[in-house]
């Protein structure tokens, strides 16, 4: 398995744990605000590829200093070697977290059934009817709904999260949280303008209103990445 980037020590990517974060290349979505754009297309020449052995050697050296490994992307479930990589990580006694866009429910279920994941963060980009527009790809929303159900039926820790970009409205937030009513956790994440030509973020009053709506359906709703 190859990676397009790595954060050696992170205190914010796995709740309550110190983690190393690795980023896989390639994504089946193309969200217009994506900040990992260089990772979206696999084999981009600009990316410095990190081989799996390098990651495993590094983890072996610092295994007493970190608790967990986060596999982010890109979209990690596109990688054929994801399962075998997770098996190696679990053998090293690390906790594992997967960041996913939820488009591969079968793989998600297989990894959960084999107890290879301790935490999953799944993006819910917007309300289902607006999805394909935001992610600039045709999306099978039934797959997303299936992934949501798999996580909500599971025994592991998980969160759903929405980047509150300017094209996501309060009505969208209401539709999202109605879909995941009673979920363990829901994060409303700050949108960062990719560049100054992109639309400005919602103001904080709108964020507070969105959080109020979310809390009506999910007790553990919170804002993320606000100073
Ligand atoms: S799903 Fe994530 S990695 Fe893929 S395009 Fe969207 S923001 Fe970028």
pLDDT for the residue numbered 226: 63
Residue 5: strand pairing partners: 23
pLDDT for the residue numbered 44: 59
Answer whether 136's CB lies under 8 Å from 31's CB: yes
pLDDT for the residue numbered 45: 64
Instruction: Please name the fold of domain 2-161.
Output: TIM Barrel (3.20.20)
- Distance between Cα 64 and ligand 1 center (Å): 32
pLDDT for the residue numbered 149: 98
pTM: 0.96
Give the separation between CA 180 and CA 187, rounded to whole angstroms. Answer: 12
Return the residue whose CA atom lies nearest to atom 6 of ligand 1. Answer: 31
DSSP state of 201: P
- First-residue to last-residue Cα distance in the chain: 36
In 3D, which of 147, 156, 162, 182 has the Cα closest to residue 222?
A: 162
- Distance between Cα 29 and ligand 1 center (Å): 6
Assess whether the C-beta atom of 189 lies below 6 angstroms from ligand 1: no
H or E segment at 69? strand 68-72
Give residue-wise pLDDT tens across range 61-81.
999 999 999 999 999 999 999
Return the residue whose CA atom lies nearest to atom 8 of ligand 1. Answer: 34
Helices then strands (H, E): number in the chain?
A: 8, 10
Give the separation between CA 195 and CA 212, rounded to whole angstroms. Answer: 29
H or E segment at 174? helix 170-179
pLDDT for the residue numbered 43: 56
Return the residue whose CA atom lies nearest to atom 5 of ligand 1. Answer: 30
Assess whether the C-beta atom of 105 lies below 6 angstroms from ligand 1: no
**Ranges in the chain, pLDDT < 50:** none
pLDDT for the residue numbered 40: 76
How many other CB atoms sit within 10 Å of the CB of residue 26?
18
| Measured torsion, CA atoms of residues 21, 201, 145, 31, in degrees rounded to the nearest 10 | -70
């Amino acid at each position: 398995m190859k990676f397009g980037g790595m954060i050696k020590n992170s205190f914010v990517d796995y709740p309550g744990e110190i983690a190393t974060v690795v980023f896989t290349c390639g994504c089946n979505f193309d969200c217009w605000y994506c900040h990992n754009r260089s990772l979206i297309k696999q084999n981009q020449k600009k990316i410095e590829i990190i081989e799996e052995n390098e990651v495993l050697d590094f983890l072996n050296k610092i295994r007493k200093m970190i608790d967990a490994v986060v596999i982010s992307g890109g979209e990690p479930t596109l990688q054929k070697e994801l399962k075998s990589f997770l098996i190696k990580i679990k053998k090293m006694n690390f906790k594992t977290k997967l960041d996913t866009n939820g488009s591969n429910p079968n793989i998600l279920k297989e990894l959960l059934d084999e107890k290879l994941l301790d935490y999953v963060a799944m993006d819910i980009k917007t309300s289902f009817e607006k999805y394909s527009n935001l992610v600039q790809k045709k999306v099978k929303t039934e797959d997303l709904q299936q992934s949501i159900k798999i996580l909500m039926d599971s025994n592991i820790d998980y969160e759903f999260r929405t980047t509150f970009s300017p094209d996501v409205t309060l009505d969208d937030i209401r539709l999202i949280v109605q879909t995941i009513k009673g979920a363990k956790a829901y994060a409303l994440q700050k949108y960062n303008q990719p560049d100054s030509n992109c639309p400005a973020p919602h103001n904080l009053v709108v964020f507070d209103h969105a959080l109020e709506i979310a809390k009506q359906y999910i007790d553990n709703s919170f804002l993320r990445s606000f100073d």
